[in-house]
Chain A
Amino acid sequence: DTGVSQDPRHKITKRGQNVTFRCDPISEHNRLYWYRQTLGQGPEFLTYFQNEAQLEKSRLLSDRFSAERPKGSFSTLEIQRTEQGDSAMYLCASSSSAQNYGYTFGSGTRLTVV
C-alpha cells in the first residue's frame, strides 16, 4: 500500500466539459474525504464517505458536482459542465474512524478549466 493515490495528477479541460477524478485510499481506512484548494487558501471540505455511505456534503458542492464510493474502496468525483471557477487542486484524503490519527492525503488532481 503506497498511501492515497489520485488520478490524474493534472487535467486541462474546456469550459462546459465533464471531468472525473479518481481516488484510491489506504485500504484499511474506512473514511474518504474530498477537499478543494485554491491559491492562497487552505483545503476546503467538499464531502466525505464512511464506507460507501456519503455522510456529508458541503454547500460548496453545487449540483454539478457528484461523488461516489460504490464499494467502499475507491471514490470518484465528477464535475459536470465545468466552469472556470472550478479550477483548483482537488485533494483526497482517507482516515480510520476508529482512530483520530488525522488524515493521509493524496497528491491531488490539479484541474484547469480554459
Chain B
Amino acid sequence: AQRVTQPEKLLSVFKGAPVELKCNYSYSGSPELFWYVQYSRQRLQLLLRHISRESIKGFTADLNKGETSFHLKKPFAQEEDSAMYYCATLFGNEKLTFGTGTRLTIIP
C-alpha cells in the first residue's frame, strides 16, 4: 500500500532562512507526487506537482527515486509561507494518499 511519511509535525524557520519540508514515500512503482498547502482559514490547495517541474511561490520539489523522497524547498522563507503543508502521492490515476502534514511557522 502507498504510504507517505512527513517526519516533522512542526517546523519553525526564521524569515529569510532556507526551508526544507521532508516527505518520503513507500511505493514500488512510479507514483505522482504532489504538495498541497492549507493557509489559515482556507481550503486545501495544490502547491505543486513533480511532473510539471514548476516553481510556485518560490517553492520547488525534486523527486528522488533512489531515496524515495520528495522534499519541498524554498531558499528564503517569507512570513506568508506559514501554513500547513501536505505531501501526497497518486498512483495509477487513482486516489491521493496524504501524509500527516507539517505545520510551518515563519518567525519574523
Interface residues of A (CB under 8 A from B): 33, 40-45, 48, 56, 91, 93, 97, 100-108
Q: Contact check, A48 vs B95: say whether CB atoms are below 8 A apart.
A: yes
Residues of A within 8 A of B98 (CB): 42-44
A105 adjacent to B95 (CB under 8 Å): no
Chain A-chain B contacts (Cβ-Cβ < 8 Å), number: 50
B43 x A42 contact (CB < 8 A) = no
A105-B44, A108-B43 as given contacts; A100 in contact with B100, CB under 8 Å: no
Nearest B residue to A98, CB-CB? B93
Indicate whether A56 sits within 8 Å of B95 (C-beta atoms), given known contacts A40-B9, A91-B44: yes
What would be 19 A-B contacts, judged by CB atoms less than 8 Å apart?
Answer: A33-B95, A41-B100, A41-B101, A42-B4, A42-B100, A42-B101, A48-B95, A56-B94, A91-B44, A100-B90, A100-B93, A101-B46, A102-B49, A102-B96, A103-B46, A104-B46, A105-B44, A105-B45, A108-B43
Q: Which of under 10, 10 to 19, 20 to 34, or 35 or more describes the interface residues of B?
A: 20 to 34
Check: B34 CB closer than 8 A to any chain A CB.
yes
| Minimum Cβ distance to chain A for residue B63 (Å) | 14
Which of B32, B93, B100, B101 is in CB contact (< 8 Å) with A97?
A: B93
Inter-chain CA distance A45–B3, complex, in Å, is: 13
Within the complex, the shortest CB–CB distance from A104 to chain B, in Å, comes to 8
